[in-house]
Amino acid sequence: MVQLQGKVAIVTGGAKGIGEAITTALAKEGVKVVINYNSSQDAAQALVNKLVSEGCEAYAVQADVSKLEEARTLIDEAVKRFGQVDIVINNAGITRDRTFKKLSREDWDRVIDVNLSSLYNTTSAVLPYITESEAGRIINISSIIGQSGGFGQTNYAAAKAGMVGFTKSLALELARTNVTVNAICPGFIDTEMVAEVPEAVREQIVAKIPKKRFGAPEEIAKGVLYLCRDGAYVTGQQLNINGGLYM
């Protein structure tokens, strides 16, 4: 088991939803967390204030990780602040759902850039630092939609499936180092995104889930903690946390 006290983690999209739960869980384990946000400044600062008031170390950095230079700035800020990076959680993501017939190239590009190209941007920038860690962890938050597909989600499904392929390939390349690379594929998690779905549709989704409920963001965070603490021999894998919806 790896002691997480004093490790440094970057969580992209770390201010809200699943990202907030991951940030909080890591901080409570003594990890120094860098909360990346793009537009959620108020939420990010509120989370920093809350964690600091509880005795944790947290710092917020604005960056659009779909842009290479901003992702590099994020990594530089983390190293400047804490001197190292041990954990990267690639969680930033958006949806722009349309049936393919109505899907614009702009909506295709934006979803691919934020959800998938951001992995290249953050990882290429952090690699020189994280490979120096005694227990480096790269964890990519993919989705059940990348495994099963989703109506009106060709862009999102392609990006999330691409994250899995990225994970497996990078895991092979880094297997001789102390860095593991894994993906977590959440099912339907009770976040703001799911809350916006009409109630009738929510009921239909729950009816299809063997566990008969949505997941909680904290359950995804527990998967992250497992990979960070106990995952030294786990790499290139997909951890499916979906209530049995996709097996």
Q: What is the pLDDT of residues 215-224, one digit of tens each?
A: 999 999 999 9
Positions annotated as catalytic residues are 156
Q: What is the pTM of this model?
A: 0.97
Which pairs from 155-158 meet CB under 8 Å and 24+ separation? 155/96, 155/98, 155/103, 155/107, 155/108, 155/111, 155/112, 156/95, 156/96, 156/97, 156/111, 156/115, 158/112, 158/116
Token pair belonging to 81: 């602040």
Please give the pLDDT value at position 12.
Answer: 98
Q: State the Cα torsion 82-166-151-40 to the nearest 10°.
A: 10
For 112, how many CA atoms within 13 A lie in the half-sphere containing its CB?
A: 11
Please give the pLDDT value at position 197.
Answer: 83
- 42 assigned to some structural domain: yes
Instruction: Report whether pLDDT(136) > 90.
Output: yes
Q: What is the pLDDT of residues 4-31, one digit of tens each?
A: 999 999 999 999 999 999 999 999 999 9
- 130 assigned to some structural domain: yes
Token pair belonging to 119: 């992995």
> Is the separation of the CB atoms in 121 and 79 below 8 Å?
no
Q: What is the pLDDT of residues 178-208, one digit of tens each?
A: 999 999 999 999 998 788 888 999 999 999 9
Measured from the Cβ of residue 229, the count of other Cβ atoms closer than 10 Å reads 15
Q: What is the pLDDT of residues 164-183, one digit of tens each?
A: 999 999 999 999 999 999 99
- 3 assigned to some structural domain: no
The domain that holds 224 is classified in CATH as: 3.40.50.720
- 123 assigned to some structural domain: yes
Which phi and psi angles does 104 have, rounded to 5°? Answer: -80, 160
- 2 assigned to some structural domain: no
Q: What is the pLDDT of residues 65-90, one digit of tens each?
A: 999 999 999 999 999 999 999 999 99
List the domain range (segments joined by +) for residue 80: 8-241
Burial class (CB in 10 A: 0-12, 13-18, 19+), 106: exposed
- 166 assigned to some structural domain: yes
Find the angle CA(219)-CA(56)-CA(121) to the nearest 5 degrees: 65
Strand partners, 141: 184
Instruction: Report whether pLDDT(1) > 90.
Output: no
Q: What is the pLDDT of residues 46-66, one digit of tens each?
A: 999 999 999 999 999 999 999
Please give the pLDDT value at position 112.
Answer: 98
Q: What is the pLDDT of residues 110-124, one digit of tens each?
A: 999 999 999 999 999
User: Can you tell me the mean pLDDT for 84-99?
Assistant: 97
Instruction: Report whether pLDDT(241) > 90.
Output: yes
How many domains in the chain? Answer: 1
